[in-house]
Amino acid sequence: MAYCPKCGIQVERDQIPCPLCFTYIPKVSSDKQLLKENGFPHYYSMYENVRDNVLKLIFRIISVGALLALFIPTLINFILDKSLTWSLYSSSSVISFWIVIYVFSKKIKRKALILSITTICLLLALDMADNQINWSVTIAIPIFLMCVTLIWLNRMFYKKNKKRWLAFVGVITISVFILTAWISFILGHYSNRPYTFSRSLEDMKVFLSIGTVCLVLSYSFPNKWKEILKRKFHF
């Protein structure tokens, strides 16, 4: 007797879609086979199987295209200039793009860490294309690391304080202030204009004030008024 491995209903025969959930019912040759499988066939979805095969095919096509995009410019650059110059830009970009596709197409843990390392390597590769390291270490990577750090801190704060929406708004506002101040400091140090940092602090201190007020109100505001504001502004 055949049963649907997903919803468990009895069907007339095997190797047909279930009339309720349309799950493909595998072949059942005998009752002994069912007993070996603990009286129930393994779950098998034709849709999921076809979807996985299509995704694998797309990934293989993208991999072949990335390999051609990596090989052809490199070969042309080497034939024309007898060295690798401008092709390094396209090669590093293609490799980074393939890594991103691979990470999202596979069940890989710590995707954020792998993508962060990939981004840092891409910035270094783009900067090293002219045989020297300059803006990537002094500007791009410090700003990128600050962005990643602030995103991680905001994410951790949101997980532990999901109901404190006003505090989360304050944390985001203060994060914008910190990021803006950090960018101004990096650019001012790189261009030998330290006064740009102090000027940006004057311009962005309103964000620090708003964030501080939101944090204070979140932890000292009466719960009754919080509920009224939630209903008023549909938070």
Average per-residue pLDDT for the chain: 80
Which of the two residues, 103 and 108, has the higher pLDDT score?
A: 103
pLDDT exceeds 70 at position 233:
no
Average pLDDT of the segment spanning 169-181: 89
**Within 13 Å, how many C-alpha atoms sit on residue 145's CB side?**
12
pTM (2 decimals)? 0.68
Q: What pLDDT is recorded for position 63?
A: 92
Question: What pLDDT does 35 receive?
Answer: 53
| Tokens 């304080």 -> residue | 161
Decide: 11 and 18 in contact? Cβ < 8 Å.
yes
Q: What is the structure's pLDDT at 229?
A: 67
| Range 172-188 burial, b when 16+ CB lie within 10 A, else e | bbbbbbbbebbbbbbbb
Residue with the two structure tokens 């620090």: 208
DSSP characters over 168-214:
HHHHHHHHHHHHHHHHHHHHHHHTT-THHHHHHHHHHHHHHHHHHHH
Please tell me the predicted confidence (pLDDT) of residue 149: 94
**In 10 A of CB 214, how many CB atoms?**
22
Which range, of 69-78, 160-169, 218-227, averages the lowest pLDDT? Answer: 218-227
Q: Which H or E element spans position 11? A: strand 10-11
Task: Answer for the pair 9, 3: CB distance below 8 angstroms, yes or no.
Answer: yes
pLDDT tens per residue, range 189-227:
877 776 666 777 777 778 888 888 888 877 776 666 667
Inter-helix orientation angle 165-190/195-220, to 10°: 170
pLDDT digits (tens, 9 = 90+) for 5-49: 777 777 776 667 777 777 777 666 555 555 555 545 555 555 666
Residue 155 burial (C-beta neighbours within 10 Å; 0-12, 13-18, 19+): exposed
